[in-house]
Structure 1
Amino acid sequence: MKYGKREYRLPKTENRQETGKAESGQVSWVLGLFLILFLAILLYMQLQLAMYKASARYLEDALALSNLASAVIDIREYGSTHKVHITDQEQAYAGYCSAVRENLGLNENYEAVGHKLISGKVEIRNYIIYNVTGTKVQVWERNGDGRILEWEGTLGEVRTPGGQTIENTGVYSEITYPVEGFLGITVTAEKSKLVDVVSEYMGEETNEKTEDESGVEE
């Protein structure tokens, strides 16, 4: 019985080196692509975060202006007693709604059209008027479903839904609005603001008096 000879050849070293280089190149390419993708996602998230911060500042200013625009005080009462009271609450709420639409660029249905910071309909969740007289706080509240609540509390104990203590006559409001987030996912954001009407009103009056006095010639 004859046995044939078999030859076993080792692969050439050059081929092994070329294969190793090719695999190493593929790994580097994949890692580079992953790094670029990671940096792109990180940059996009940073831009989204910056947009959210800008949106929060913009909406806070808009709410403050809207609250102040709705604070129509009783001039006669202020002239005789120097008490700042918002006596016509329905008129105040109507003025607030109009100011919100104007300040946020909304249509009659409270929808943002062509707005980069708001991607849908704005809803007014809460609108509250706090009238302070001595140690008493008279509260008029209109919820998002249209219900109106009226009650009275003690100064220093009455707080807004956000936990702020009421010290003077003021207006509080809260809205929700949709924001387009990461990967096109829409989330609902919330913003609230309390405006101290006494500080705002008396501050303007003091400034006007100062300007008038400074303009008087001796």
Structure 2
Amino acid sequence: MKYGKREYRLPKTENRQETEKAESGQVSWVLGLFLILFLAILLYMQLQLAMYKASARYLEDALALSNLASAVIDIREYGSTHKVHITDQEQAYAGYCSAVRENLGLNENYEAVSHKLISGKVEIRNYIIYNVTGTKVQVWERNGDGRILEWEGTLGEVRTPGGQTIENTGVYSEITYPVEGFLGITVTAEKSKLVDVVSEYMGEETNEKTEDESGVEE
């Protein structure tokens, strides 16, 4: 019996290696693209966060200046009793609204002229005046819907809507404003600020006296 010869050929590895290299290259390309996209999104979010922080600091300073601008105290009463009181609340509120528009760059409808920090209309949610006399705190509050509330509390027990304890005559205000966020989504942000009028007013007066007393005549 004759047996035929069988030839066994090794499979070609070149084509297989080329295919594996091609697949490996595609995977690397996809991973690289994904990494670039991820880094771009991360960078964009970091820039957005930095912008939000800068916006928050700017708005806090603007609110503080607006509150202080509205604190028109009774000079006669202060001269005779050294009590710091804001007696004309309506005038104070009108001054506050004017200062808010100017400090935040708003038009007469409280809409942002430039949309760099604020994307639309600003709403005044709360404006509160705290007049302190002895151990009593007289509160005058104007809500966002225009309602005016007046009441009296005890010093040390009266707090702002944000939880700050009232120690001296002061002005508190709260606003909301739209901010354009990630992927163009607009969200509503909120900012509030309490200004201690006594500390601000007496601090400036003390500085002025110190400067006058330090002057040297030649």
- The aligned counterpart of 2:71 is 71
Q: Evaluate the alpha carbon distance shift between residue 162 and residue 5 of structure 1 in structure 2; reply closer, same or farther with a 3 A threshold.
A: farther
Corresponding residue SS for 2:42: helix
Q: Does 1:20 align with 2:23?
A: no
Using a 3 Å threshold, how does the CA distance of structure 1 residues 190 and 7 change in structure 2: closer, same or farther? farther
Instruction: Tell me the TM-score normalised to structure 1 length.
Output: 0.95
* CA distances 1:151-199 after superposition (whole Å, capped 9, x unpaired): 0000000000000000000000000000000000000000000000000
Alpha-carbon displacement from aligned partner over 1:85-112 (angstroms, at most 9, x marks no partner) = 0000000000000000000000000000
Q: How many angstroms does 1:217 deviate by?
A: 2.7
8 Å Cα contact 2:105-2:114 kept in structure 1: no
Count of residue pairs the alignment pairs up = 218
For structure 2, list consecutive stretches of 5 or more residues without a partner in the other structure: none
Q: 1:217 to 1:13 in 2, by over 3 A?
A: same
* Aligned equivalents of 1:106, 1:11: Cα separation in 2: 77
Displacement of 1:48: 0.4
User: What TM-score results when the alignment is normalised by the length of structure 2?
Assistant: 0.95
Contact 2:136 2:153 in 1 (8 A): yes
Summarize the Cα distance change of 1:3–1:164 in structure 2 as closer, same or farther, 3 Å threshold: farther
Change (3 A) 1:29 1:138: same
Between stretches 113-122 and 180-189, larger displacement belongs to: 113-122
Q: Does the CA contact (< 8 Å) of 2:73 and 2:87 recur in 1?
A: yes
Matches within 5 A, 1:27-176: 27-176=27-176
In the TM superposition, what whole-angstrom CA distance separates every residue of 1:95-130 from its partner, at most 9, and x where no partner exists?
000000000000000000223010000000000000
Structure 1: runs of 5+ lacking an equivalent: none
Q: CA deviation at 1:10?
A: 6.4
Q: Secondary structure in 2 aligned to 1:60?
A: helix
- Deviation beyond 6 Å, 4+ runs, structure 1: 1-10
Superposed CA deviations along residues 20-60 of structure 1, whole A, max 9, x for unmatched, are: 00000000000000000000000000000000000000000
Contact kept, 8 Å, 2:137 with 2:154, in 1: the verdict is yes
